[in-house]
Amino acid sequence: MIGKRLKDMRKKRGFTMQDMADRLGVARSTYAGYESEYRQPTLETLHDMANILRTSTDYLLGLTDNPHPVEPTKNIKELLKEDELHWDGVPLTDEELKPLRDLLDVIVRERLPKYKYEKNKN
């Protein structure tokens, strides 16, 4: 499965086998071996291929059919909207998260004028 997915993603990105080989620092024949599944990439090479092809190692390995990895959000407001949040394994209900949302809302509101000032200053 990895060979077919490598080839499909490589073509979608408009790369030749030589392009991939150059980016990975391997011979073209080595990369061709990955696509034909004659060779198996190391974990590091697999990780590098996924980064180059902007996909996940899970997709290349066939563990998921979604070629577009979901980036974890860094926006706490968005994170607090997700279901099944927990604190060290202890599930948190929407009601239990409300005080946290309210506190963060107050902190951001108070910091916003200072943040805008500092941003404009730079």
In this prediction, residue 103 carries a pLDDT of 92
Task: Using a cut of 0.95, tell me whether the model's pTM lies above it.
Answer: no
Tokens of 25: 């620092």
Examine the fold and report which residue of 37, 61, 85 is the final residue of a domain before the chain moves on. Answer: 61
Residue 67 domain-assigned (yes or no)? no
Does residue 88 share a domain with residue 55? no
Over pLDDT 70: what percentage of the chain? 92
Q: What is the average pLDDT score of the chain?
A: 88
Task: Identify the CA nearest to 43 among candidates 4, 103, 51.
Answer: 51
Query: Which residues lie closer than 8 Å to 41 by C-beta, 6 or more apart?
Result: 2, 34, 49
Tell whether the model's pLDDT for residue 42 goes beyond 70: yes
Residue 54 domain-assigned (yes or no)? yes
Residue 71 domain-assigned (yes or no)? no
Does residue 80 share a domain with residue 56? no
Tell whether the model's pLDDT for residue 14 goes beyond 70: yes
In this prediction, residue 28 carries a pLDDT of 97
Q: DSSP letter string over 58-110?
A: HHHHTS-S-SSPPPPP--HHHHTTSSS-EETTEE--HHHHHHHHHHHHHHHHH
In this prediction, residue 117 carries a pLDDT of 58
Does residue 87 share a domain with residue 47? no
Tell whether the model's pLDDT for residue 74 goes beyond 80: no
In this prediction, residue 11 carries a pLDDT of 94
Kindly list the distances between the CA atom of residue 96 and the CA atoms of 13, 85, 107, in Å, as whole numbers in the listed order.
Answer: 45, 10, 18
Contact 69, 56 (CB under 8 A): yes
Position with higher pLDDT, 110 vs 16: 16
Tell whether the model's pLDDT for residue 82 goes beyond 80: no
> Residue type at 13?
R
How many domains is the chain partitioned into structurally? 2
In this prediction, residue 81 carries a pLDDT of 79
Residue 109 domain-assigned (yes or no)? yes
Query: Residue 51 sits in which domain range?
Result: 2-61
Residue 55 domain-assigned (yes or no)? yes
Tokens of 87: 């604190």
Does residue 87 share a domain with residue 52? no
CA distance 99 to 63: 38
Confidence of residue 17 (pLDDT cuts 50, 70, 90): very high
